[in-house]
Amino acid sequence: MFEGGEGSGKSTQLARLSALLTQRTVPHVCLREPGGTPLGTEVRRLLLDRASDIDPRAEALLFMASRAQLVDRAIRPALSRGDVVLLDRFFLSTYAYQIAGHGLDEAEVRSANRFATHGLVPDVTILLLFPAREGLVRAGARASAHDRMEAMGDSFHDRVSAALSAFAEPAWQATHPECGSIVPVDAAGSEDDVAARIQAVVNQRWPGTCS
Ligand code: TMP
């Protein structure tokens, strides 16, 4: 899994890791959330459209709908074939954006998430840490206009960013075993520097994959 705030470079880094796995002939698929299936792509359009008026609970459930479809139609089949799954965001984003950002009840959202994932636990999550406000500027420059989530406002994104930093703490991870292992990676510096940090994490877990 790749997780991080807006403009943290996770999609770029995921593409780089995918290119490396292709070179090493490691069978893998790249998926993203929300999205990754025809239903998920429709849900993504609704969720990110600034014209959509979506209540925070409806928003959480739409992310879960995309997730349930992705888990059953794309992730499980890929894992059964023996493929590695590289995923651009997963449910840690719900913990950051819907629980911390919107203030939804943690126990309720965790329970809905268990329903959506059937208890699937990621092997490892690369958590790219990058200052939220700089990331938003990057994301805005890239897309020319902020999408509905990016446009939530500074205090929302500050809460998301604080939550992402908390997820890097062993104490938080010990109380959230459903999230699996989360490895914080500094996303500052050049694309090459960040890629090298990520490859070191992958190599440590699966020796020889990126060396
Ligand atoms: P991105 O993947 O292109 O960054 O856009 C997805 C947006 O959706 C991003 O702002 C994070 C947000 N998001 C949530 O709020 N909750 C979630 O569970 C997920 C997967 C994404």
pLDDT digits (tens, 9 = 90+) for 105-158: 999 999 999 999 999 999 999 999 987 778 878 877 776 688 999 999 999 999
Q: Which atom of ligand 1 is least distant from the CA of 101?
A: 15
Q: Tell me, what's the pLDDT at 144?
A: 66
Strand order in the sheet with 2-4: 28-32, 84-88, 2-4, 124-129, 181-186
Distance (Å) from CA 34 to ligand 1 centroid: 6
Distance (Å) from CA 92 to ligand 1 centroid: 10
pLDDT at 56 over 70: yes
Q: Among 106, 149, 150, 156, which is best to mutate for testing ligand 1, by the most ligand atoms less than 8 A from CB?
A: 149
The set of protein residues with a Cβ atom below 6 angstroms from ligand 1 is 6, 32-34, 63, 88-89, 93-94, 97-98, 149-150
Q: Tell me, what's the pLDDT at 71?
A: 98
Q: Tell me, what's the pLDDT at 8?
A: 85
Cα–Cα distance measured from residue 177 to residue 71, given in angstroms and rounded to the nearest whole number = 19
Residue percentage of the chain with pLDDT more than 70: 99
Top pLDDT among 5 and 62 is at 62
Q: Tell me, what's the pLDDT at 145?
A: 82
Query: pLDDT by residue (tens digit) across 88-110?
Result: 999 999 999 999 999 999 999 99
Which residue, judged by its Cα, is nearest atom 13 of ligand 1? 93
Give alpha helix (H) positions in the chain: 10-23, 38-48, 56-70, 76-81, 91-94, 106-117, 132-143, 154-167, 170-174, 191-205
Which residues are registered as beta bridge partners of 4?
128
Which residue, judged by its Cα, is nearest atom 16 of ligand 1? 94
Question: CB neighbours of 58 closer than 8 A, spacing ≥ 6?
Answer: none
Residue 195 confidence class, pLDDT cut points 50, 70, 90: very high
Q: How far apart are the first and last CA of the chain?
A: 20
Cα–Cα distance measured from residue 211 to residue 191, given in angstroms and rounded to the nearest whole number = 18
Query: pLDDT by residue (tens digit) across 150-165?
Result: 999 999 999 999 999 9
Ranked by mean pLDDT, the top range of 3-7, 74-78, 144-148 is 74-78
